[in-house]
Structure 1
Amino acid sequence: MLSQLRPAIVMILLFTAVTGLLYPLAITAIAQLALTAQANGGLIERDGKVVGSPLIGQNFVSDRYFHGRPSATVGPDPADAGKTVDTPYNAANSAGSNLGPTSKKLVDRVNAAIEAEFAAGRIGMVAADAVTASASGLDPDISPQYALAQVPAVAAARGLAEDGVRALVETHIDNRILGIIGERRVNVLKLNIALDALK
């Protein structure tokens, strides 16, 4: 029996070392060498202070900034640890809402988001990503349609000419990867940082 058990134990230890230690360390080293900024979260600093990462969405609430898409992330309810409450862009709990098209909660949330966008004057025609959350709840990008629809409200809140703000958005539109992968998109954090730099 020991002759059958010994190879099994050796294999467990060998594969634990290879897949649990060597492989992760090798991938980490390759990532640090090849993609240092991305491997470290792509953090953006302003005046020596980290303001965010273009890889993870943030909750911009001021009318002076472009807004990201809604976030469906949740966190523990401070009043009752057994329950959860909506906590937008909670990176510690990345997940979609898992609500289906017949869910009353989803329909109510989308309708409320549409009404809020119209009330704030940020949009004329509703872009899908203006009222629906991403699968992770942390999407840092929005569609060019949604970004351009927010131009009048952001320009008015900052006292800027709409043409200048629209041109800024257009310079921050990222095209599809290799021209075919993904969709055209605008990174909200990078756009808002550039917006702050406008005079």
Structure 2
Amino acid sequence: MQIKPLNIPDVLLIEPQVFRDDRGFFFESFNEERFTRLSGIRPRFVQDNHSQSARNVLHGLHYQIKQTQAKLVRVIVGEVFDVAVDLRKSSPTFGQWTGAVLSAENKRQMWIPEGFAHGFVVTSDSAEFLYKTTDYWAPEHERCIAWNDPAIAIDWPINGMPTLSFKDQKGVSLADAEVFA
């Protein structure tokens, strides 16, 4: 396993060691001891989530203002462009985003720490997305920032308007969002 910080150093790209032969492949999708040794982070996961979406579906930018969640995300079918936005007001990267292509083929994962909004868009015909969280989903604390906020200026790899949930259509600007100290 290799762990590389992205352009926001707290967001990590994890590349597992994949063993392939004519029968298929094998890799450890998570090893707490190795993850902690390489990242300095010892997460306590309490919930696993699994979603499936079609091409051009965009989820996000989601976060919980209380019961904050760090996430370890990956794709097991298809491909997505995954994004994290720093919402920590005291951070030098506040309001900035970072992203990576995650796919069933590349088997990459992304670590998104607490204090970040998260989103992704499906760039294949469909995708299945798995993520572990460090706290439980709390809809009363969930917030959403507009996927296309010009203050953040995410370079989404899409043409035209993505397919959005009702919740995501109501996302607010970063200027109007509740953020972290």
TM-score range, shorter chain: under 0.3
- Larger RCO (CA under 8 A, 6+ residues apart): 2
Q: TM-score, normalised by structure 2?
A: 0.26
Which structure: greater helix fraction? 1
**Bigger Rg, which one:** 1
Which structure: greater strand fraction? 2
